[in-house]
Amino acid sequence: MTEKTTVFLGNLPFQAVDTDLKEFFRGLPVRAVRLIRDRESNKLRGYGFVEFDDEESAREAVKRDGKELFDRALEVQLSQNPPRPAGSGRPPPRGPPRGRGGGGGGRRGKLLDGNGFVTSVICVVSFCVSSLPRYVLGL
């Protein structure tokens, strides 16, 4: 779906289905209807998107803003951000790209071997193990 041919629908009746919206936009070439559902309950969330074949049809659809469907005045606007395909994972990032966090402040005595183990931890463990007989035996 693209921004120029997709409209956002708000205040949708919860009993509305795809065919109701196609009938609501009768006379306009509807390409696809996407009603947004709650992940847990699978109930409609009260909004959705309709994609039209061309920009002119989408602009014509916006003129139906405020018209009623099942006694509810629909909000019809050109879509600002087209919806993601189902199952696409996380929502798209907002704002400029960000870094991936700090780099750990340099080496600071931590050396990684080929397997990703921190050798400083190994050194601490080996020191403790080597000091254990002195502590236990009182040497």
Q: What is the mean pLDDT of the chain?
A: 78
Q: How confident is the model at residue 36 (pLDDT cuts 50, 70, 90)?
A: very high
Other CB atoms within 10 A of residue 6 CB: 22
pLDDT tens readout for residues 76-130: 999 886 555 555 566 666 766 666 655 555 555 555 555 555 555 554 555 555 6
Which of 88, 9, 91 minimizes the C-alpha distance to 48? 9
Q: Which two tokens stand for residue 128?
A: 């403790």
Rounded distance between C-alpha atoms, residue 20 and residue 101, angstroms:
48
> Does the pTM exceed 0.85?
no
User: So what's the pLDDT on residue 18?
Assistant: 94
Which of 27, 28, 74, 18 minimizes the C-alpha distance to 52? 28
